[in-house]
Amino acid sequence: MLNIYTLKNVKKIYNERNVALDGVDLQIKKGEIVVVLGPSGSGKSTLLNVLSGLDYPTSGTVCYYQEELNNKSAETLAEYRYRDVGFIFQSYNLMPTLTAFENIELGKTHQNDCDIYEIMQKMDLSEQKDKYPYQLSGGQMQRVAIARSLVKNPEVIFCDEPTGALDEKIGKVVLEKLQEINRDQHTTIVIVTHNPSIAKIAHTVVKMNSGKIVEQYSNKKRVAAAELRWV
């Protein structure tokens, strides 16, 4: 299977006491769900940042397909994120003065992007089309955030603690939607989380501590999100 990302000896050093990434080697295959686990300060969010082009590594190489992101200008990385990357955050990051439909519309990048109404139907949001964020539940707001990232049909979606602000029931609904996206559209999905239960939905699990990958494995049998039990 084709690698969408290849990292070689990637380091991110802020100062001698803060080494966020310490020689990371990693390959992410196209079309996989990858779950990155680790405690606070383990480097998992920094890893997401260098993969998504939000930050530069101090040294090492970060390749998107065959293209080295670490050598690109800020403008080129912005274009890469605009064109190929979707983001889902724990805090939803919705515009409070826009409706659900209008928030999703913000994700469009070209006239030939996915149809917003189809995306809303897929996310079970059709009845929330004209509601504002304050009128939505946490799970609905997160599904709006997913729809916003989906509307441009990205190559990869980066999820930073996507269920962190949700209870178990609603969190599993959100994860079900991510599994559907991966299955139906073959979108590569990278999920950063501290919740080890979520690892069971992944094709590949990456465990981090102190800026290093301490374990990596593939799930021989993946679990549907509805069957998960929060730890």
Residues 6+ apart with CB under 8 A from 137: 170
Residue 104 neighbours by CB distance under 10 Å: 28
Q: Residue 109: its pLDDT value, please? A: 76
Dihedral (CA of 63, 21, 217, 91) sign: negative
What is the domain extent for residue 117? 3-227
Q: pLDDT tens for residues 180-202?
A: 999 999 999 999 999 999 999 99
Q: Are 150 and 107 in contact (CB under 8 A)?
A: yes
Q: Residue 49: its pLDDT value, please? A: 95
Distances (CA, A) of 222 to 63, 72, 97, 160, 170: 27, 36, 39, 21, 20
Beta partners for residue 156, in sequence order: 85, 188
Question: Across all residues in the chain, what is the average pLDDT?
Answer: 92
Q: Are 90 and 162 in contact (CB under 8 A)?
A: yes
Per DSSP, the residues of 10-64 read EEEEEETTEEEEEEEEEEEETT-EEEEE--TTSSHHHHHHHHTTSS--SEEEEEE
**For the domain that residue 222 is a member of, what is the CATH number?**
3.40.50.300
pLDDT at 218 over 80: yes
Could you give the number of structural domains in the chain?
1
Q: Residue 167: its pLDDT value, please? A: 87
Helix ranges, 160-209 (H) = 168-185
Q: Are 138 and 94 in contact (CB under 8 A)?
A: no
pLDDT at 85 over 80: yes
pLDDT at 111 over 70: no
Q: pLDDT tens for residues 128-184?
A: 999 999 999 998 998 899 899 888 889 999 999 888 888 888 889 889 989 999 999
The whole-model pTM stands at 0.91
For residues 167, 172, 173, 177, the Cα torsion angle rounded to the nearest 10 degrees is: 140
Q: Residue 164: its pLDDT value, please? A: 85
R_g of the chain computed on alpha carbons: 17
Residues 6+ apart with CB under 8 A from 70: 50, 56, 57, 60, 61, 62
More confident residue, 93 or 113: 93
Rounded distance, CA 204 to CA 34, Å? 5
**Percentage, residues of the chain above pLDDT 90:** 71
Q: Which amino acid is at 153?
A: N
